[in-house]
Structure 1
């Protein structure tokens, strides 16, 4: 019996000693790895684990300097700032000592890809094809439901539920996308959205370094980008810095309350995005619109906190370096802190000079949109360093212009002439993202019969693809997908027919399209393929004429090449005198882009009702 008690005491003692030396569980390391040879010598590594703040921190590398160890209010976080300016690619250890306990965190600085910093961004030579991944195509049904994730259902009958689209589905349709003639795909957010409901749209991120597992893995996203590149397609990634999802560990277990605005307490934004640029706005109004939350389930980051700013900036650079993406679309840009977002744009540009970022600037005035573009005279001396902004006012004009008959002084196509004549407010009109619709608006081809008109459709796409700027097309536009915002955002994001195995029609296959869909697709494809690599449209100067007899005429000219576009804004045929346009008609004959014929240019030309003429010289 005595020996038994001695054995028990010995076992208890051994267990107690082992617990003293047990490693602390590290739940998150962000970023999980980095790269040697980056232009910015500073690296922030966030460690998240139970009561790690009391640890003494050291690193095993001889050529990496641990500059700063920052503790937060929450003892579960440590922020390490390292100088890696002299570091070669290597694996090293981050060592945490707490008394006799020691936790070793392996870390790696990887070798950069050759010419990684020379990634080519999107520009006015491109046309972006906007895809909501959950609604485009389901290529892997095994990831539809992931055990343990909060929204564990797929219901295609519910417009606000997950439908099962994924990265594999997009990968399977890359040939379709490339054959259409677009040059870039823009994906709505693919980062983890482990939310209880509404997670399909992706705008409530719960892990900035992880692809949502219902879409695929980080490796599968990188593979998708590489395959897109192989087919001549660029990839733009949607990002959200203004807010995250309330199930993000950074909010559920906040490093400190100043990581979020209003100390992590819900205060609703006013959505009045004109306020930040309003010279007369009160301090209170500015604070509410910028610091207020987008919704109660989307807490608003405090980007004035330097640790928050660095965390967000690094996350974007990590994805550029890791996956080789060509651009970023930044959600709700005016809702975030101006100075931090400016610093972010500069940081990305310094690391990747040819990269491009487009900010969502949903404001109804071209003057107010221009405030957010790089080198804006309106914003000076402040500078956003944001190259591309979204031209929402032009979207509004286009959604009205092609419904109305054109008066030479107002309405119809005069709207477009009048709006473009105000481009002096923009620092760079060619770097405006232009679009007829997107995932937040009614589709241009809507349900009501008045808008189901192919003449309207063709004129709008002709203008979109031949005017200044960077065009974006919403998936399904090519097959006349229709939806009205009044019926809810979920229906704006309908499934592409044929993206699921049990779909009754597969519109990825031309043989399954209706006659009207076939005509629309063929028209758009012809324009897109003609535009691809066309320097006149990508780089050419724009000259336009005030509508005469309801006909809007403009030219794109680059070097000794030019294109002249004639749009009849009347619901009847119209004959125009070509003498008025001689300065943009350098020859007596031209190539008719839409018919492929060579046409002779006499004194007059008759355009049919809502007719289009595109002449290439």
Structure 2
């Protein structure tokens, strides 16, 4: 998300309270409700109302299994925190808090404890594994299913201009729900959405990475009702949902910044200080303390205040929100934005809290860093270091930047071309479980892969075949299957609308008749491979064996006791002939190989010819 927000605003820091809460506003509480039967029995309620701190006494009406343990007040009189202990035996119902402001006024606050949700008697939360195929969507740019929410009265950003890629376009959650059939037919099993929380910022709200209210789903996307309906529809299809988390920062219009509980919720500097984006200092044995501080405590941009996760009240707010979203919506996974910029001890606590409550949940962090040691530092690894991450997986930038991209854009050399992909994969020994890493060709921050490979469809197919056959969890960015292109200069160019997602679009790429022959060809290619993968134990959970590339050809196998898949990547322009005796360790029981794409069969007992610019994927067959 490094390029998502380009605003250049004047820096202004003030330790005076900027209060937007009027005397007429009702009392607000975060989390807005909670559940009984949670493993975590302690709960922090952040209460916000004008001069709420002046309440002389806060009491809880007796409720079996729930105890008010303490109250915390803040410098800002508009906040206080209530701490509860909720027994495992507490029943669902309504708590009643009384705020006694003296002889003249007692304010009551009801608070709901709900029963935990299930689906067909089982937990809704299934988790994300290497058996899944993720499809990444920027909701504002995929499909407009409800034109009534395109503009919302009272929000700062009233733009609606599809000709400008920095303004809102009107895509929403209903639009995604309308096309779940398209995604399922494509072979997708999990959907990751760029952030869906409210971003009440003046502009550049289309990407969603500047939260202004953690407990409100953006009404321009349809709000909480549409989000519930979308996720329920996803789960009914046997598919899964991933939410995008942002812990490091918020939008500058967030009420927690404009009306902050106290200044210690954020990182401050004598003058505006940006993060250096230099993750290396976090593991550098020679690093200066000031460089470490600037990396972690510097602001991401001038309009994204940096949260102080060392503040226990702020940390609890963030962790409880993550648990709340998981339970409220039935999330199967979290992608964690700008992972390296967070307080890493906080991230370990947050990850543990989520995984203690939901062991099946998958968490993977954005690690847009350079170097395998750097990336593996942030995930479960085999290093003996003072800091040990408990993050299960990462977005595997190394196999993108130093793997598939050079494999298909460089000539073959000792460390170039397909050798670079091979060499990067050889370093998987650093991870505790590399199968939990998420593979991708591109995303909302990177240039479209089709453009990276020079709009060469053969090379795009090679990338897609690698994505769907290599180890890990594959992720496809929306529109790659219909040849969407452009370089991320600026980032808005890689976030264009999916054609056909809006009424009146010149073409509808959701339907075969709206696609060109080339687009249908690539779409069919993805669909064939992805649906084959759904039933392939070797590709979903099997082992990986790779061979040192020779003459520009890289060969790897995915295999288990039930199935063996052979993948031959010939990145050269010309046909290559392989002596199959070299691969007998994996091919010995087999004599034939059947193409996954077109079912053609070849003999593999002697020589095998593979066309240029091809990743030939074949299932091995016995005599």
- TM surpasses 0.5: yes
CA contact (8 A) 2:166 2:206 kept: yes
Question: How do 1:77-92 residues align onto structure 2 when only pairs under 5 Å count?
Answer: 77-85=79-87, 86-92=89-95
What's 2:481 paired with? 478
Q: Counterpart of 1:583?
A: 585
Distance in structure 2 (CA, Å) of the matches to 1:75 and 1:28: 14
Aligned residues: 590
Shift of 1:311: 0.4
Find 1:594's aligned residue among 572, 580, 597: 597
- Deviation, 1:182, is 1.3
8 Å contact from structure 1 (residues 435, 464) kept in 2:
yes
Residue of structure 1 equivalent to 2:431: 426
Q: Distance in 2 between matches of 1:188 and 1:525?
A: 23
1:582: how far off?
A: 1.4
Q: 1:413: Cα distance to partner?
A: 1.1
Q: CA deviation at 1:563?
A: 0.9
- Structure 1 unmatched runs, 5+: 1-22
Structure 1 residue 152: Cα displacement: 1.0
Q: Which residue of 1 aligns with 2:445?
A: 440
- The aligned residue for residue 152 of structure 2 is 146
1:159 paired with 2:165, answer: yes
CA contact (8 A) 1:39 1:351 kept: yes
Decide which moves more: 415-424 or 126-135. Answer: 415-424
User: Does structure 2 conserve the Cα–Cα contact (< 8 Å) formed by 1:161 and 1:199?
Assistant: yes
Displacement of 1:379 in angstroms is 6.1
Deviation at 1:102, TM superposition (A): 1.1
SS of match in other structure, 1:199: coil
Kindly report which structure 2 residues correspond to 1:51-90, keeping only aligned pairs within 5 A, or say none: 51-55=51-55, 56-63=57-64, 64-85=66-87, 86-90=89-93
Cα distance, 1:584 vs structure 2: 1.4
Corresponding position of 1:13 = none
Which digits, 9 at most, give the CA deviation of each residue in 1:77-136, with x for residues without a partner?
011110002421111211111012111111110011246767211111111100000000
In structure 2, how many angstroms separate the alpha carbons of the residues matched to 1:431 and 1:57?
46
- SS for the counterpart of 1:201 is coil
| 1:190 shift after superposition | 0.3
1:513-528 alignment, distance < 5 Å: 513-528=515-530
Select the residue among 559, 570, 588 that pairs with 1:568.
570
Structure 2 CA distance for aligned equivalents of residues 185 and 174 of structure 1? 10
In structure 2, the residue corresponding to 1:599 is in which secondary structure?
Answer: strand
Secondary structure at 2:257's aligned position in 1? helix
Q: 1:363 to 1:116 in 2, by over 3 A?
A: farther
Distance in 1 between residues matched to 2:471 and 2:218, nearest whole Å: 36
Q: Which whole-Å CA distance do the structure 2 matches of 1:106 and 1:589 have between them? A: 69
Find out whether 1:274 has 2:288 as its counterpart: no
Q: 2:543 aligns with which of 541, 552, 555?
A: 541
Partner of 1:383: 388
Across the aligned residues of Structure 1 and Structure 2, the Cα RMSD in angstroms comes to 1.6
Q: CA offset at residue 383 of structure 1?
A: 2.4
The corresponding residue for 2:236 is 230
Contact 2:124 2:330 survives alignment (8 Å)? no
Q: Which residue of 1 aligns with 2:47?
A: 47
CA distance, structure 1, for counterparts of residue 540 and residue 272 of structure 2: 45
Is the 2:117–2:124 Cα contact (8 Å) retained in structure 1?
no
Q: Where does 1:97-496 land on structure 2 (aligned, <5 Å)?
A: 97-99=100-102, 100-114=104-118, 119-262=125-268, 266-374=272-380, 376-378=381-383, 380-397=385-402, 398-407=404-413, 409-446=414-451, 451-486=454-489, 488-496=490-498
Deviates more, 1:540-549 or 1:296-305: 540-549
What is the CA distance between 1:590 and its match in structure 2?
Answer: 3.0
Q: Aligned equivalents of 2:63 and 2:562: distance in 1? A: 60
Query: Which shifted more, 191-200 or 229-238?
Result: 229-238
Query: Which residue pairs with 1:609 in the alignment?
Result: 612
Matched, 1:96 2:99: yes
Deviations 1:21-44 (A, max 9, x none): xx9743421111100010000111
The runs of 5 or more residues in structure 2 that have no matched partner are 1-22
Tell me the SS of whatever aligns to 1:564: strand
On the 8 A contact 2:538/2:562 being kept in 1, the answer is no
Query: Alpha carbons of 1:529 and 1:270: their partners in 2 closer, same or farther (altered >3 Å)?
Result: same
Report the equivalent of 2:20: none
Q: Distance in 1 between matches of 2:384 and 2:167?
A: 41
600-609 vs 117-126, which deviates more? Answer: 117-126
User: Distance between the aligned counterparts of 2:389 and 2:68, measured in 1?
Assistant: 32
Counterparts of 1:251 and 1:612, CA distance in 2: 51
